């Protein structure tokens, strides 16, 4: 079936987020960004601007073309994003299936070829075909609503990655063509590459035909040196080409997530023309919260393990902050 047989398609008028009034308790504003379900923020409700209903599907026609999202709340929608409202009753599971099918067509489009004229012609399975494959969708719940402590960034200090990490090295590279895709969890291992998706995991492969000495232990940060993509690996893995591994005895998942959120701010500086090589990784400076004395003064580590000034990162704060975020209790 064609998409326009399954959905009513609406094309919102020109609406610009920066011209709206921010309001934490307001209406979701959906843009063409791919992250955060397309929601760039919440804005004040205004008369005369159409609010699209909850359970609609938004589909960017430029930018992150066809990166569709199911909106669970009423929303304002920016220009050049199509809004799909089902013509017949559909469950959330059905709609999420259609979101996936729509996204699977994204490879056909780019900035030179937008989807505004051809969206309705996309071929999709009918609802009965989808319902042949039952899916158990269980929403993830969290008891956390807000961080337990504020981020006082003005009180943070500088640390180089070279001083923070005990090991920074190039992982042994494996050629994808030499690997065998594996669905057997008992004998499978993750293949981590420079991809920016799925935590850097490009494939799940068999460990039988891989030298066991090349297996990388869990609890590491991986960085693709030509792309500056970085992730925390909580399971053993093998690596593709151009992968750098960072390790430290203080590292755990919560601390890695805290540091990665800061480290990813460096990514714009690097590309294939300027790689994130090991020397540059070591020299990268991050601002981090520090351990303080009861009177608020910085605690000084006389061994100067992490900085020449003797500042010590406040690992406990990082643990608590990450675990206090919404869904942090699911880590």
Contact 323, 254 (CB under 8 A): yes
Together in a domain, 193 and 275:
yes
Q: What is the pLDDT of residue 272?
A: 66
For 67-79, write each residue's pLDDT tens digit. 999 999 999 999 8
Distant-in-sequence, close-in-space partners of 99: CB < 8 Å, separation ≥ 6: 57, 68, 69, 70
pLDDT of residue 243: 96
Same domain, 170 and 97: no
**Three-state SS for 121?**
helix
Same domain membership, residue 214 and residue 317: yes
Which parts of the chain sit beneath pLDDT 70?
110-113, 130-137, 183-185, 272
Q: Mind listing the pLDDT tens digit for each residue in 185-213?
A: 677 899 999 998 889 999 999 888 788 88
Report yes or no on whether pTM surpasses 0.85: no
pLDDT at 42: 95
Cα angle 21-39-86, degrees, rounded to a multiple of 5: 115
Dihedral angle at the C-alpha atoms of 270, 271, 276, 277, nearest 10 degrees?
-140
Residue 111 is predicted with a pLDDT of 57
Name the pairing type of β-strands 188-192 and 237-239.
parallel
* DSSP 8-state assignment for residue 172: P
Domains identified in the chain, total number: 2
pLDDT of residue 298: 96
User: In degrees rounded to 5, what are phi and psi of residue 245?
Assistant: -115, 135
Give the structural domain span for 286.
Answer: 153-330
First to last CA, the chain: 41
Residues 176 and 317 in one domain: yes
Structure tokens at 114: 């937008």
User: What is the predicted pLDDT for the residue at 132?
Assistant: 60
Residues 11 and 123 in one domain: yes
Same domain, 89 and 189: no
Q: Alpha-carbon distance 249 to 313, whole Å? A: 13
Burial 153-173 (b: 16+ CB within 10 A, else e): eeebbebbbebbbeebeebbe
Are both 210 and 115 inside the same structural domain? no
Q: Calculate what percentage of the chain has a pLDDT beyond 70.
A: 95
């Amino acid at each position: 079936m064609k998409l326009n047989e399954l959905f009513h398609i609406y094309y919102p008028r020109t609406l610009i987020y920066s011209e709206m009034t921010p309001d934490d308790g307001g209406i979701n504003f959906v843009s063409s960004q791919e992250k955060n379900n397309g929601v760039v923020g919440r804005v004040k409700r205004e008369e005369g601007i159409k609010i699209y209903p909850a359970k609609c599907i938004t589909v960017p026609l430029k930018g992150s073309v066809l990166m569709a999202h199911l909106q669970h709340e009423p929303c304002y929608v920016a220009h050049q994003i199509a809004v799909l409202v089902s013509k017949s009753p559909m469950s959330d599971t059905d709609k999420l299936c259609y979101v996936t099918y729509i996204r699977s067509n994204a490879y056909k489009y780019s900035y030179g070829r937008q989807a505004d004229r051809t969206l309705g012609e996309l071929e999709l399975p009918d609802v009965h075909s989808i319902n042949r494959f039952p899916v158990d969708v269980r929403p993830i719940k969290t008891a956390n609503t807000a961080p337990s402590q504020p981020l006082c960034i003005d009180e943070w200090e500088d640390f180089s990655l070279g001083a923070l990490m005990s090991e920074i090295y190039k992982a042994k590279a494996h050629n994808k063509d030499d690997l065998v895709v594996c669905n057997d969890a008992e004998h499978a291992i993750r293949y981590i590459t420079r991809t920016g998706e799925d935590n850097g995991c490009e494939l799940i492969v068999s460990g039988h035909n891989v030298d066991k000495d090349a297996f990388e232990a869990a609890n590491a940060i991986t960085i693709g040196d030509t792309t500056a993509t970085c992730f925390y690996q909580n399971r053993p893995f093998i690596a593709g080409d151009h992968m750098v591994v960072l390790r430290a005895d203080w590292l755990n998942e919560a601390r890695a997530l805290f540091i990665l959120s800061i480290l990813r701010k460096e990514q714009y500086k690097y590309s294939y023309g300027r790689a994130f090589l090991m020397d540059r990784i070591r020299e990268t400076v991050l601002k981090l919260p520090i351990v303080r004395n009861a009177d608020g003064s910085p605690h000084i580590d006389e061994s100067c393990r992490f900085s020449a000034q003797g500042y010590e990162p406040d690992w406990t704060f990082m643990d608590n902050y990450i675990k206090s975020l919404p869904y942090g209790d699911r880590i």
